Structures are given as C-alpha cells and as structure tokens.
Amino acid sequence: MTYAQWRVARFGAQANDPQIAGEDADPDFDGLDNLTEYALGRHPLQAETDAWATLDVAAGRLVLTYMRWMAAVDVEVTPEFCTDLTGWDAQGVVVEELGDDGIMKTLRATGPLPDLPGRQFGHLLITQ
C-alpha cells in the first residue's frame, strides 16, 4: 500500500487537507507525524500510548528495537545514532530482523558507537 492509498483509507474526505493528512501533520497529537504513523503501522487519528520503539544498551552499544509495517512499500526506515543530537548517522549501524507476524516486522538496530563516556542517542529517519 502506498502512502497516498493509506492517506485516503485513513482520512477519507480529509485526505487532501495537509493540516490533517499531510506527511508532517500530527492530527492525534501523539508526537508522531503521519509519515511515521504510516511506516510504523500506527493509527494517525488515535493517540496510542504503547511504545513503538525501545532503546537499550547491549555489549556497550545502543540498541534500538522497533516494529515496521510490512505493507508500507514506499518509505525507507533508517535507524541513526549520534552523541550530540546533531550528527545523526546510519554508517556502521547493523540492522537485524527479529521476525514478523505477516503484518508487522520487528527489527533491531545496533549502533556503531562503542561504550563511550557521555550520552548516545538513537532515532528512526522516515523518508519517502
């Protein structure tokens, strides 16, 4: 399913209103824009409170585990890591598929940064 098809299915008559159905809009005010909701298989009009990703540390590296909607065919989901919230980078990130249920795929991204003093951050870059 393309983003355009999803937008019509989810928003109906409001599908062409960028304030509600635009890629950057967040009509349910849950902090996830519509493109992210699409990629992660979430509902853009219902503020869901369950975690869509987890961050852990394993063997001194930051690990981001997340679920991706398998039907979202026209987006890329790229895990990125950094130490300063500005230099996001996907280089050296190892992504491993943990399994799927036919609808959602669970993935684990391990950051390239070894155990460093200070902070490390991870996020998902969603692009179309």
Domain extents in the chain: 3-40, 53-127
β-sheet bridge partners, residue 127? 76
For residues 14 and 20, the answer to whether their CB atoms sit within 8 Å is: yes
pLDDT value at residue 52: 85
H or E segment to which residue 2 belongs: none
pLDDT value at residue 116: 66
State the Cα torsion 96-23-14-42 to the nearest 10°. 20
For residues 67 and 106, the answer to whether their CB atoms sit within 8 Å is: yes
pLDDT below 50 — which residues of the chain? none
Measure CA 18 to chain center. 20
pLDDT tens column, 80-91: 999 888 889 999
Kindly provide the b/e burial profile for residues 82-113, where b requires at least 16 CB atoms within 10 angstroms of the residue's own CB: bbeeeeeeeeebeeeeeeeeeebbebbbbbeb
Q: Is the pTM of this model over 0.85?
A: yes
DSSP at 100: E
Residue with tokens 């065919």: 73
CATH number of 53-127: 2.60.40
Task: Please tell me the distance from the alpha carbon of residue 33 to that of residue 93, in angstroms, as a whole number.
Answer: 24
pLDDT value at residue 119: 82
